[in-house]
């Protein structure tokens, strides 16, 4: 099954990012294909170089970057990013900025769109 994932919430203060990441890992192990991951609203904070978690904590942005490095299309909403002062320079590798049209295309190509956060 082809899945697209939409994440609304930021890292560390909500479970949406961790839940989405764990869901994606489990889905891939079961043989499902991830069409893409789209970060919207405060979800755009998940993929910035600006976070420096303690060594004994998970590095959420690094996890997303690694997934992008494995060929999964990871997109940040340009409008949501700009409203929060996030530009290309502060994004981790393997993540790109684009518009809501990318989310629409992901949803069209996928069989299901799974949403994490409010």
In the chain, domain spans:
2-116
Q: List active site positions.
A: 77
* Contact in structure between 11 and 51 (CB atoms under 8 Å): yes
Asked if pLDDT for residue 118 goes beyond 90, the answer is no
Asked if pLDDT for residue 33 goes beyond 90, the answer is yes
Q: How far apart (Å, rounded) are the C-alpha atoms in residues 68 and 64?
A: 6
Q: Where are the beta strands (DSSP E) in 1-118?
A: 2-7, 33-39, 74-77, 96-98, 112-116
Q: How far apart (Å, rounded) are the C-alpha atoms in residues 85 and 98?
A: 15
Q: Which two tokens stand for residue 65?
A: 């970057």
Mean residue pLDDT of the chain comes to 97
Predicted TM-score (pTM) of this structure: 0.96
Topology annotation, domain 2-116: Hypothetical Protein Ychn; Chain: A, (3.40.1260)
Match 């949501």 to its residue by tokens: 80
pLDDT of residue 2: 98
Strand partners, 3: 34, 112
């Amino acid at each position: 099954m082809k899945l697209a994932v939409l994440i609304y919430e930021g890292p560390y203060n909500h479970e949406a990012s961790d839940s989405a990441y764990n869901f994606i890992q489990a889905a891939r192990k079961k043989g499902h294909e991830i069409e893409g991951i789209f970060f919207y609203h405060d979800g755009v904070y998940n993929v910035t170089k600006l976070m420096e978690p303690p060594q004994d904590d998970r590095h959420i942005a690094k996890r997303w970057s690694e997934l992008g490095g494995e060929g999964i299309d990871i997109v940040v909403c340009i409008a949501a990013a700009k409203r929060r002062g996030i530009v290309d320079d502060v994004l981790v590798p393997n993540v790109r900025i684009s518009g809501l049209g990318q989310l629409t295309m992901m949803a069209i190509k996928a069989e299901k769109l799974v949403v994490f956060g409010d």
